[in-house]
Chain A
Amino acid sequence: MSTATTPTAAEAELAIQRKQAPVRSQGYWAGVFRRVRRDPVTIACAAILLLMLLAIVFAPLLAPHDPYQGSMIRRLRGIGTPNYPLGTDELGRDIVTRLLYGGRLSWFMGIVPVALAFVIGTTLGVTAGFVGGRVNMAIMRVTDVFYAFPSVLLAVAISGALGAGIFNAILSLTLVFVPQIIRVAESVTQGVRNLDFVEAARASGASGFTIVRVHVLGNVLGPIFVYATGLISVCMILSSGLSFLGLGTKPPEPEWGLMLNTLRTAIYVQPWVAVLPGACIFVTSICFNLLSDGLRQAMDVKG
């Protein structure tokens, strides 16, 4: 036993800490950003989505034609037609223009229901998780009921009963996602609720509202947000699917799902033109999905 020559475990620990101290002084978000920057897939997806967003925001500047103005003479032209690089649809409208304008509604209907569900679901879920008891019981049992429906079925059921329209589609999709976000919010809040710092805040006399605002929200919003970004992909597929069934957007409004539906009749004439709107949905949806996966890893969120 040569304790005189070798440092004790505690001393070694201190030495290591001294060495690491300058490196550790980095914020949480800086770390997340650094990890995202090292992930080429996430960067690529973010870049594609940003380009798409710019393209649909500046659609009036970029679009070569009018999205509603068709022509009986030039219906269903193929890809590569002069002036109409991606062809024309069944009413002779330019596909490039319709895809650019269609992205606006598709993105809107892919993001708005998730955003609404994020706000409503987080409020209810954090309340359920933090208050507990009967409040938790009431909120979670109602959530269970909506969980008993497959999500596509629930969206179709509510939209189908309410009738077609953008507002009804958004309402039904929000209702589909609220229970899912409630479940996530409730479980992460449960995890945070009994941690020491919450206990300390309570002991120092903070009110329930203050504890939630200062101590709980900061710790649960991240995981809920990451979960919600993953839902955007699902929401985009579902909302376009509703339009595809004739339940969302109404013609002649350009929207990817609706375009796919009306072009379906043209599948034997211009098959590759007919599948273009779906390709847009696919690319957007897969990018949101990969972006969400990347964020999940960078933010080190479990589950």
Chain B
Amino acid sequence: MSTTLYDKIWNDHLVDQQEDGTALLFVDRHLIHEVTSPQAFEGLRNSNRKVRHPNLTLAVADHNVPTTDRTKGISDQESKIQVDTLESNCKEFGVQLFGMDDKRQGIVHIIGPEQGFTQPGTVIVCGDSHTATHGAFGSLAFGIGTSEVEHVLATQTLVQKKAKNFRINVNGTLPLGVTSKDVILQIIGNIGTAGGTGCVVEYAGDLIRSLSVEQRMTICNMTIEGGARAGLIAPDEKIFEYLKGKPMSPKGQNWEKALEYWNNLKTDADASFDKEINLNANEILPMITWGTSPQDVITIDGKVPNPQNEKDEDKKNSIERALKYMGLTPDMAATDIKIDKVFIGSCTNGRIEDLREAAKILKDKKISSHVNAIVVPGSGLVKEQAEQEGLDKIFVNSGFEWREPGCSMCLAMNADKLKPEERCASTSNRNFEGRQGRGGRTHLVSPGMAAAAAISGNLDDVRKYQN
């Protein structure tokens, strides 16, 4: 029978299948961080269980870490306890940890690929919804809760039910200045934040194949914002090239064997999908979000919606509520939205290519005098690479602050946050109420659009800044 890539990975990881459809799935790779793991380790201790495969588990502190000078440690006591707890748990249970002072430390979804821990055809989980990122390598990767983290630590398996197959085809080529961030925002705008609920999404089409590995990660990363737990892309030469020689990638004979297996990871030509949509890349424009849900998207040349045009009462209320929170008026032009802050970073857009894209726009330019802007590289290695390329100087000369790696203002668990009513152009993934700080207002954009907004002082069209 013809099967999809998701079917193949699923079938290849089935440890047990109950008659009611509940399955026990083997987990090849488990990433953990300080926020969603302490209660899981506590659970193991309480029931006298150990970590079944410490060498299939990798830990890093990212959500709580300061992005400013780290030599004095973490000043917030609760954050410090959480990071220290991760360290002691990893020591006790024999799990490898990239501590705060390790050059390899960074956002969990950036370090996995960087180290070659993320591999095609694997099942990868993490107590974090943006685990979908790793699907860019042709793995089945999804976020889990803390009870499930404990389950994976104890058994190296997960209790799951099979999801539906949903294919999103993107064909054509992207206009100048339009990026994979705009593609995924457009997709979420089309399907809605619950559009992928109960599904695993496969991204396909010639546009997807033309994207770099890092651009693919941006798309898979935000799959969860469209409601699907996992999004994946069939692995190809670009993926194999990226992984070759990475510290945790297979070596020698194992590399050859792995490559043979990875080469067969693709959906059969006549496999059927429960759901399928098509997008034309040529028609995608630079996007922004105007509201408090990632589905609230408009193009940069568009206008903020007017609730009076909405017939459905619930939707109308929801638009009104979002406009009020965001401090926007109906029908105002996107480019009239004045911003206070810019954040470049996160597991969505904190990789080297993202920093290059923003730096290209910022070179020899100054950011607007009323804008406060920070760049938070996704990992210590991204930071090092950027510094070697002189990107840090471009950012600093333009008026940005150059920070240490971590999740930072994507979720504002550390000191980096918005004040009430402050407005931010952000390369992160969620514009929920309060996400970047209580009362803070978030507009999701691509790194180039964030750079353009920093220069203009309001949301602006990145295409104006292309040479």
Real binding pair: no
Residues of A within 8 A of B (CB): none
List the interface of chain B (C-beta within 8 A of A): none
